[in-house]
Structure 1
Amino acid sequence: MAGRIPQDFIDDLLHRTDIVDVVEERIKLKRTGKNYSGLCPFHQEKTPSFSVNPDKQFYYCFGCGAGGNALGFVMEYDRLEFREAVETLAKRHGLEIPAQSNGPQHRADKERQQSYALLQQASDYYQQQLREHPERDKAVDYLKQRGLSGSIAKRFGIGYAPPGWDNLLKHIGTEQQNKLDDAGMLIMKPEQKRTYDRFRDRIMFPIIDMRGRTIAFGGRVLTDEKPKYLNSPETHTFKKHEELYGLYQARQANRELHRVLIVEGYMDVVALAQFGITNAVATLGTATSANHLQRLFKLMPEVVFCFDGDNAGRQAAQRALETALPLMEDGRQAKFLFLPDGEDPDSMVRSEGTEAFNRRVDQALPLSEFLFDSLSDSLDLESGEGRARLSALAVPMIDKIPGQVFQQLMRQQLSEISGLERQFFTPKAEPSPPSAAPQNSAPSHRAPDYSDYDPGYGDYDAGPAEPPSSFKARTNRHRPAAALATTSNGARALQLLLHNPKLALKVDLETSDALGSLQHTEQGLLKALIEQLRNDPNIPTAILLLQWRDSDYGPQLKQLASKELLISSGEQREQEFLGCLEQLLRQTREAELDYLKEKQQNQQLSSKDKKRLTELLLAGQRRNHR
């Protein structure tokens, strides 16, 4: 677990960084007025729609909506995690990320870093032995027999652990014996006073994490020795139920991964890559876990499981199905590909070629089809008993699906198969427990702290992160149509505020409090931003957007900030901003007043509504007498 990066360090780093320099190091930009433009690196286009604003230190693509600050650009373009991106920008300025602790956590981090360094040395050593060892020929011949080229072996860092008991230990140095043992590279038997290399006379496959670090190894034997494949034990750098072989290489080879193919072994992954299929990964001596799938679904929407077509393959597929069901949010897809008996992805792609194999993947069974096929395999669906049995088996599995749309579609499919009405499979809604909180409680806003921001790749874990501020609109008790629609005044006020955060100092407390008492989401959002910017009016727009990036309204704020203002005068901007706020208050109060008047004609108002109606009428009279 990496330590937190201090927020003030991140802020200072962004202050020092010129986003134009960062972007121009990676793509070609052309000056267009105040901004710079170029072809967007995040989607295919022929006409430039990618814009970089040096004043706001912000980039935005009008074609695909990508946008953010220098840190976000480095993360997206270089495909780095948050911490790596911070390190990249820090190196530009000769800065070191400060450590926040010298306690046990700091020492554990240091030990892990030492293990990463030793494991990389081991990987370099094994690759060198594949090139230079006197007995390298048998390893090279094996790889050639499997149809692997030198370039593909280099891409995956494949190496050779030569025969002998302590080659690696001697190469690294006996003084590192305990650290090599911690990294899983030795077998120590104190009772026999013996220490020797874990991997001997094997083809070596380094296991790389999402940050490109060697964290473990898998070794394939070249003799009849058992086991055929040997993995590193679990260590402080390697947890087999979390890591996937080939995922790092797949992300490096594909800027956008829309689908991943889960296969059984290292050689399947490498052989498929040899044939241009670069989106395959393999589990590491264990079944696909929920952790594996969570990680994959963060990166792409579709997962295809690949199994042998025999009974063992079907049983493994059933376990994968049960693991996947609780993770099937709407928009996610899981499919199942069964190969002919006796075939694996390696042999299959060699016999039929890339195009035919890809067709197999395209035609893989969707999860819904596999679920009903597997459950009805031994049932007579022509009989009522068979359909009843299918329903009894399927309903508990469907209930595990969290995606409401997908779950309802599965119920509908079960209804069609069983011949029963769909309502029969719809659970009755349980009465909601009474809520102690009032419906009209004020919205709570707090800009999130990004000192431990995790973009979702799962490797940089900075400890328990505070959840980003998710803006929730208040329950709309008066429901006027004008208050529900997105207002141009609200959007314009937000845009002006994002371009000039110091405008928040021009808003009096009465106005900001009134914004918080209204029912519209944008008005509550304005209040939250105004309160934040009163405390920090000099914050650059780029850092402000970073702080709101992971909130529900991050994309909306980013889009508003990307639009140019047609007025440049600070005085004109202030007048328009305050005018927008006044219009917002007036329009919403008028809508609420109309609603209460109409309600009064049709029914008796509650004492609370009467009080509110009186307040609105008196406020209107005061404004008319001004």
Structure 2
Amino acid sequence: MAGQISQRFIDDLLARTDIAELVAERVTLKKAGRNLSGLCPFHDEKSPSFTVSREKQFYHCFGCGAHGNALRFLMEYDRLRFPEAVEQLAARLGVEVEREDDQLSPHQREQAQVRERKREEGANLLELASDWFRHRLGAPEAEHARRYLDGRGLDASIIDAFAIGFAPESWDALKHHLAEHGVSEAVQAEYGLLVQHEKTGRTYDRFRDRVIFPIRDWKGRTLGFGGRVLGDAKPKYLNSPETPVFHKGRELYGLFEARRGGARLERLVVVEGYMDVVALAQHGISNAVATLGTAVTEGHLKRLYRLVDEVVFCFDGDDAGRRAARRALEVALPVMIDGRQARFLFLPEREDPDSLVRSEGREAFEARIECASPLSEFLFDQAREGLDLKRVEGRERFVSRVLERLRLLPEGLLRSLLMRELANRSGVEMEQLERFAAPAAKRADPAMTQFEPAGQAGDEAQWERAPVSSARATAAGRRGSVPLSLRALHLLLHAPTLVGMLPEGEGWCPDDEHGVLLQEVARLLRAGGYRSSQVILAHFYGSERGRQLEALMRREPMIPAQAREAELKALVELFERRRERLSPEEEYRELLARSQRGETLAVEEKKRLWELIGVLNAGPG
């Protein structure tokens, strides 16, 4: 439900959680005096430097500096956003999350409650259907389904872990079962369990004579189903349609099972089908997920990269697999900020992960994953397909193809290194390549392109037109102005550890809406000692400010991570210079506005306000 999570509820949740028990579910801990210690899950080490204190309900690593409470641990270990971490901790204790709806109008609150009831209705119905499918797998009529699963090498533990079931050949067995539990045909159809005949209007079960694979969200709640046919019916694989809770372009089969595995996820492998995921898990490779009958989407990748820094795309080695890989590359490039990796694995022709892992075993398949082509190699390989690079025309087409892809990449170290590699491979000078790539800047989103590093900033007009960190690139074609306070807020959200370099107190940045929000975010980061902006998003969750902050978080700054501190410092210096140039009337209006908003002015600021009143009342001369 929309609305900010109650702070009182968060405090109570932490008070009821034993951080030692929570951490011990994921990390091996040993008694060390009054505390517990183990190998840090956040960096590689051979000697334990990770400590958990039951007394203080706190963890700290003396090696990498990671520290925090139970919620922080869940956010960093499981790669959860703050609301998700709260929900997971609450579910662990068997309590419902309390939210404050004070910021919602009665109409908005009613709409939110309707949506929440709809989600609950769907979750309960789909769970009921999932339980029924699982039960039917043990029935005499499912003998051929059990033979099929056994023939694929799946044992009972894997079948149970993935909640695999069976839909009988009957046209209405599930419909009657759900009706006995009070679920109407209309609701069953709404959640994709029934199909309505176009001519007669009669409804019948969507899934018939199929092995059923429940599709679950990160909490394990059933969202929909995939069915693999056992007879000759078409299609071979059938998914639930789009419903109020199921969206193919966002969900991934196997993600819940991968996340609940014992080991910390380092990478995820994207395959094409349910059986690929399940077969790999049967052989001990539990970090595979599958799209649901769609190509990889940006929504898929955002979800994956929230959890891991490395994604391996696994494709068949035929022409169709190569085409799918090229589409995945185009989708991946815009989200490849520094620190993320994408690799491409092509299997032998007429093989898929299911058949290959069964024939060659776990170690051989994992070796293939380790040898998967990095994004850079695949990008250059597919760009030179069909070209003769010994000819000038071939090299020209090669450079054009690569530049077309590189324009999709965010600014950063990866893009710079790929440009340099292109220069080495093509013989074209870097300056020329940068000039040829420049039109991409004109096509970029004008709302955020201001965050790109700019040329030397001399006067204030130039500061308005270009980003402020100066002295690096000479990006051409400066666009329209973005408020400087918005730039600073954007940088701080993506680099919250830089809050320490911002001035304390009030009034150090512009008094516009972005400046007010910037100061509030800085205050919250300082107050909690937070390293993650997810806590800030949770604080404003469900409000208009929250939606603004989420939009900024979805946009990676164009400035490379290593240059953001200098950029933020330059912005603060500009704010200070601007304040020094305020006229007495402007300074008076700014101080008065802050006072009228209920802010407490410092003693020196109050004295200055009285001085300004005197100056302005005295008039000219």
TM-score by length of 1: 0.68
CA contact (8 A) 2:60 2:66 kept: yes
Is the counterpart of residue 237 in structure 1 residue 245 in structure 2?
A: yes
Q: Is the alpha carbon distance of 1:185 and 1:365 closer, same or farther for their aligned partners in structure 2, counting shifts above 3 Å?
A: same
Is the counterpart of residue 145 in structure 1 residue 151 in structure 2?
A: yes
Per-residue deviation, residues 330-375 of structure 1 (Å, max 9, x unmatched):
1211111111111111111122221111111111112221122112
CA contact (8 A) 2:312 2:344 kept: yes
Measure the CA separation in 2 of the matches of 1:151 and 1:18.
30
Q: Is the alpha carbon distance of 1:79 and 1:153 closer, same or farther for their aligned partners in structure 2, counting shifts above 3 Å?
A: farther
Aligned partner of 1:453 in structure 2 is none
Q: Is the alpha carbon distance of 1:257 and 1:348 closer, same or farther for their aligned partners in structure 2, counting shifts above 3 Å?
A: same
Any idea what SS the aligned residue of 1:306 has? strand
Aligned partner of 1:289 in structure 2 is 297
Per-residue deviation, residues 175-209 of structure 1 (Å, max 9, x unmatched):
41222222111113485241111111100000011
Per-residue deviation, 1:386: 0.9
Q: Where do 1:383-402 residues align within 5 Å?
A: 383-402=391-410
Measure the CA separation in 2 of the matches of 1:444 and 1:181.
50
Per-residue deviation, 1:63: 3.1
Q: Which moved more, 1:100-109 or 1:232-241?
A: 100-109
Q: Which protein, 1 or 2, shows the higher relative CO under an 8 Å CA cutoff with sep ≥ 6? A: 1
Is the counterpart of residue 378 in structure 1 residue 362 in structure 2?
A: no
Aligned partner of 1:570 in structure 2 is none
Measure the CA separation in 2 of the matches of 1:393 and 1:531.
43
Measure the CA separation in 2 of the matches of 1:145 and 1:550.
48
Per-residue deviation, 1:220: 0.4
Aligned partner of 1:252 in structure 2 is 260
**Residue 161 of structure 2: which of 151, 155, 160 is its match?**
155
CA contact (8 A) 1:207 1:214 kept: yes
Aligned partner of 1:279 in structure 2 is 287
Aligned partner of 1:169 in structure 2 is 175
Corresponding letter in the other structure for 1:413? E
Query: Structure 2 regions of 5+ residues with no counterpart?
Result: 102-107, 442-453, 456-460, 470-483, 510-517, 538-572, 574-579, 582-621
Q: Where do 1:25-104 residues align within 5 Å?
A: 32=33, 36-39=35-38, 42=41, 47=48, 49-52=50-53, 54=55, 57-75=57-75, 82-83=82-83, 85-87=85-87, 92=93, 97-98=98-99, 100=101, 102-104=109-111
Measure the CA separation in 2 of the matches of 1:89 and 1:330.
31
Any idea what SS the aligned residue of 1:335 has? strand
Measure the CA separation in 2 of the matches of 1:513 and 1:129.
65
CA contact (8 A) 1:10 1:86 kept: no
Per-residue deviation, 1:288: 0.5
CA contact (8 A) 1:246 1:282 kept: yes
CA contact (8 A) 1:330 1:404 kept: yes
Corresponding letter in the other structure for 1:38? S
Corresponding letter in the other structure for 1:138? H
Q: Is the alpha carbon distance of 1:15 and 1:129 closer, same or farther for their aligned partners in structure 2, counting shifts above 3 Å?
A: closer
Any idea what SS the aligned residue of 2:361 has? helix
TM-score by length of 2: 0.68
Aligned partner of 2:558 in structure 1 is none
Measure the CA separation in 1 of the matches of 2:267 and 2:278.
17
Per-residue deviation, residues 460-512 of structure 1 (Å, max 9, x unmatched):
xxxxx9x95966989xxxxxxxxxxxxxxx99xx9xxxxxxxxxxxxxxxx97
Any idea what SS the aligned residue of 1:141 has? helix
CA contact (8 A) 2:223 2:245 kept: yes
Q: CA RMSD in A?
A: 4.1
CA contact (8 A) 1:304 1:334 kept: yes
CA contact (8 A) 1:69 1:546 kept: no
**Residue 310 of structure 1: which of 288, 304, 318 is its match?**
318
Measure the CA separation in 2 of the matches of 1:123 and 1:238.
15
Is the counterpart of residue 109 in structure 1 residue 116 in structure 2?
A: yes
Per-residue deviation, 1:264: 0.8
Any idea what SS the aligned residue of 2:149 has? helix
Per-residue deviation, 1:413: 1.7
Per-residue deviation, residues 7-59 of structure 1 (Å, max 9, x unmatched):
433454257446567658857675857xx34335736665463142745x533
Is the counterpart of residue 325 in structure 1 residue 333 in structure 2?
A: yes
Corresponding letter in the other structure for 1:313? G
Any idea what SS the aligned residue of 2:289 has? strand
Q: Is the alpha carbon distance of 1:243 and 1:424 closer, same or farther for their aligned partners in structure 2, counting shifts above 3 Å?
A: same
Q: Which moved more, 1:57-66 or 1:348-357?
A: 57-66
Measure the CA separation in 2 of the matches of 1:206 and 1:263.
17
Corresponding letter in the other structure for 2:38? L
CA contact (8 A) 1:216 1:238 kept: yes
Query: Structure 1 regions of 5+ residues with no counterpart?
Result: 449-464, 475-489, 495-510, 518-526, 534-540, 555-591, 593-606, 609-626
Q: Which moved more, 1:402-411 or 1:98-107?
A: 98-107
Any idea what SS the aligned residue of 2:399 has? helix
Q: Where do 1:225-624 residues align within 5 Å?
A: 225-427=233-435, 434-436=462-464, 544-545=527-528, 549-550=532-533
Any idea what SS the aligned residue of 2:166 has? strand
Corresponding letter in the other structure for 1:72? R
Aligned partner of 1:456 in structure 2 is none
CA contact (8 A) 1:19 1:69 kept: no
Aligned partner of 1:129 in structure 2 is 136
Measure the CA separation in 2 of the matches of 1:514 and 1:125.
60
Per-residue deviation, 1:221: 0.4
Any idea what SS the aligned residue of 2:248 has? coil
Measure the CA separation in 2 of the matches of 1:365 and 1:28.
37
Q: Is the alpha carbon distance of 1:549 and 1:150 closer, same or farther for their aligned partners in structure 2, counting shifts above 3 Å?
A: same
Per-residue deviation, 1:317: 1.1
Measure the CA separation in 2 of the matches of 1:319 and 1:80.
28
Corresponding letter in the other structure for 1:104? Q
Q: Is the alpha carbon distance of 1:16 and 1:404 closer, same or farther for their aligned partners in structure 2, counting shifts above 3 Å?
A: closer
Measure the CA separation in 2 of the matches of 1:255 and 1:88.
18
Measure the CA separation in 1 of the matches of 2:96 and 2:303.
31
Any idea what SS the aligned residue of 1:42 has? coil
Aligned partner of 1:579 in structure 2 is none
CA contact (8 A) 2:269 2:313 kept: yes
Per-residue deviation, 1:513: 6.4
Q: Where do 1:200-211 residues align within 5 Å?
A: 200-211=208-219
Per-residue deviation, residues 74-93 of structure 1 (Å, max 9, x unmatched):
55567766445435655759
Per-residue deviation, 1:98: 4.5
Aligned partner of 2:451 in structure 1 is none
Measure the CA separation in 1 of the matches of 2:6 and 2:29.
31
Rg (Cα) greater in structure: 1
Aligned partner of 2:125 in structure 1 is 118
Per-residue deviation, 1:320: 1.1
Q: Is the alpha carbon distance of 1:162 and 1:293 closer, same or farther for their aligned partners in structure 2, counting shifts above 3 Å?
A: same
Measure the CA separation in 1 of the matches of 2:312 and 2:522.
48
CA contact (8 A) 2:164 2:213 kept: yes
Measure the CA separation in 1 of the matches of 2:468 and 2:391.
51
Measure the CA separation in 2 of the matches of 1:530 and 1:324.
31
Corresponding letter in the other structure for 1:70? A
Corresponding letter in the other structure for 1:286? T
CA contact (8 A) 1:71 1:85 kept: yes
CA contact (8 A) 1:19 1:54 kept: no
Aligned partner of 2:570 in structure 1 is none
Measure the CA separation in 1 of the matches of 2:80 and 2:230.
36
Corresponding letter in the other structure for 1:63? G
